[in-house]
């Protein structure tokens, strides 16, 4: 025998809680008794001399002493609760008792209530994610760029995953003995991390600046006055706000590292927001040419 | 909510077990099993949910047993509106039974 304690890092999705119960029962039979159950890891203690049967409950307990007493009356021991409202219970196994003695929900209504509580939560989550997805879809439509696309896809995938969980929880019979649950959860959380994290990283890698320049008067015309340099880390759509004003036409240009002009405007007065620029990876600079005093402001994201 | 909405089996038996006096959860469970000849069992999760919901509805209330000194226990007691709900359910069930006999 190895140690006296062990930690299991098996995770189960909410709609697969019966599988977790089965696994806890099996562990107990093999001499490992649950000390503390959790969403992502559970602690066990070695004790081959007892055998328990487990159950999981999901609810907001409004009266803990009453809850514990109600279960204790029928031989159930309350073990612990997870942060998100799952409660672990166990009862000493007695082979002379019928299987019903190890059920905590004994009518259809109360079982549906429990499944419904989780399903409602999953649905609210799915709706919230769905609304954010819609928001980003609108944004994508008006201002398509990679960080928004990544976040939009993440929101759609997670919203769909929660919706699927809700349907399984509502109709438990539709999915007996679901396999590959750990893999599903791993993907679920990986998508959150990679999607949300990736979107943030992509967003911070974008050139973000906001700057202002003015000259009261100039002695001689100035051409190609380099204003600001910036770097583009990945090809995407980038958005420029430009506002310039001068008595005589002035020129604003964006020049790439090969000296080629990728954007140019020559006007006496120009105000525009969200000018879409398709830029490839590389270094760029903003340049101004003017003959008179001027005012120019620009920002980019 | 419709006044005569059918009650779940558990709600019905819990109210029935309290009709003659206050009882604790375990007593209700045992009495239900006996009354129904083992057909109806009320597990702890069902019991906690049903008693909680019925307290919210005002059908039952919680009292502490006076006797026993140290062993004070939580008892459930039928309220007037709980008695009324039980009466209405029994009437509904009777009517259904009579209808069956008419056919």
Distance of alpha carbon A140 from alpha carbon A146, whole angstroms: 9
> What are the tens digits of pLDDT across the range B20-31?
999 999 999 999
- Helical packing angle, A146-170 and A108-142, nearest 10°: 160
Q: Tell me which of A152-161, A169-178, A181-190, B72-81 is least confident.
A: A169-178
- Domain boundaries in chain B? 9-102
> By the CB < 8 Å criterion, does A66 face chain B?
yes
Nearest residue of B to residue A111, measured between CA atoms: B46
A180 vs chain B: nearest CA distance in angstroms?
A: 29
d(C-alpha A200, C-alpha A204), whole Å: 6
Q: What counts of helices (H) and strands (E) characterise chain A?
A: 5, 12
Instruction: Express each pLDDT in A44-77 by its tens digit.
Output: 999 999 999 999 999 999 999 999 999 999 999 9
Angle of helix B44-57 relative to helix B9-18, nearest 10 degrees, comes to: 70
Average pLDDT over residues A143-149: 93
Q: Which of residues 32-91 of B touch A (CB under 8 A)?
A: 40-52, 62, 73-74
- Flag whether pLDDT at B17 surpasses 50: yes
Domain ranges for chain A? 5-104, 109-204, 209-300
Q: What is the DSSP letter of A103?
A: -
Largest distance between two CA atoms of chain B = 57
CB atoms within 10 A of CB A295: 14
Collapsed DSSP state (helix, strand, coil) of residue A95: coil
pLDDT confidence of A181, banded at 50, 70, 90? confident
The CATH classification number of A209-300 equals 2.60.120.380
Least confident of A148-157, A167-176, A235-244: A167-176
Q: Residues B39-88: pLDDT tens digits? A: 999 999 999 999 999 999 999 999 987 765 666 788 999 999 999 999 99
Pairing status of strand A86-92 against strand A52-58: antiparallel
Q: Which pLDDT belongs to residue B1?
A: 47
Could you tell me which residues are beta bridge partners of residue A270? Answer: A244
DSSP letter at B23 equals B
Q: Which CATH class is domain B9-102?
A: mainly alpha
- What's the complex ipTM? 0.91
The residues near A41 (Cβ < 8 Å, ≥ 6 apart) are A7, A8, A9, A11
Given an 8 Å threshold on Cβ–Cβ distance, is B49 in contact with A69?
no
Residue A254 — pLDDT band, cuts 50, 70, 90? very high
């Amino acid at each position: 025998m190895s140690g006296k304690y062990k930690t299991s890092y098996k995770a189960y999705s909410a709609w697969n809680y019966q599988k977790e119960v089965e696994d806890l029962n099996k562990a107990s039979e093999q001499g490992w008794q649950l000390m503390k159950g959790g969403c992502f890891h559970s602690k066990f203690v070695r004790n081959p001399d007892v055998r328990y049967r487990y159950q999981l409950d999901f609810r907001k307990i409004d009266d803990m002493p009453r809850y514990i007493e109600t279960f204790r009356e029928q031989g159930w021991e309350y073990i612990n609760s997870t942060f998100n409202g799952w409660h672990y219970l166990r009862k000493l196994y007695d082979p002379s008792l019928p299987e019903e003695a190890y059920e905590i929900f004994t009518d259809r209504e109360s079982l549906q209530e429990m499944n419904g509580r989780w399903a409602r939560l999953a649905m609210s989550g799915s709706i919230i994610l769905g609304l954010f997805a819609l928001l980003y879809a609108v944004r994508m439509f008006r201002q398509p760029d990679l960080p928004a696309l990544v976040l939009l896809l993440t929101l759609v995938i997670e919203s769909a995953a929660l919706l699927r969980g809700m349907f399984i929880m509502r109709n438990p019979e539709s999915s007996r003995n679901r396999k590959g649950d750990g893999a599903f959860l791993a993907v679920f959380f990986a998508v959150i991390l990679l999607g949300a994290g990736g979107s943030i990283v992509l967003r911070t890698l974008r050139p973000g600046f906001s700057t202002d320049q003015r000259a009261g008067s100039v002695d001689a015309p100035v051409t190609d006055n380099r204003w600001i340099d910036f770097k583009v880390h990945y090809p995407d759509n980038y958005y420029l706000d430009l506002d310039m004003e001068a008595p005589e036409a002035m020129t604003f240009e964006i020049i790439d590292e090969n000296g080629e002009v990728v954007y140019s405007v020559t006007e006496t007065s120009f105000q525009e927001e969200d000018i879409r620029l398709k830029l490839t990876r590389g270094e760029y600079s903003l340049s101004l040419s003017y003959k008179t005093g001027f005012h120019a402001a620009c920002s980019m994201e | 909510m419709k006044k005569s909405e059918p009650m779940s089996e558990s709600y019905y038996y819990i109210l029935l077990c309290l009709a003659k006096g206050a009882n604790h959860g375990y007593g209700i469970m045992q009495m239900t099993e006996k009354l129904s000849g083992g057909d109806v069992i009320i597990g702890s999760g069902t019991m906690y949910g049903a008693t909680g919901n019925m307290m919210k509805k005002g059908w039952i209330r919680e009292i502490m047993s006076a006797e026993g000194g140290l062993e004070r226990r939580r008892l459930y007691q039928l309220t007037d509106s709980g008695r009324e709900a039980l009466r209405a359910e029994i009437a509904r069930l009777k009517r259904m039974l009579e209808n069956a006999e008419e056919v």
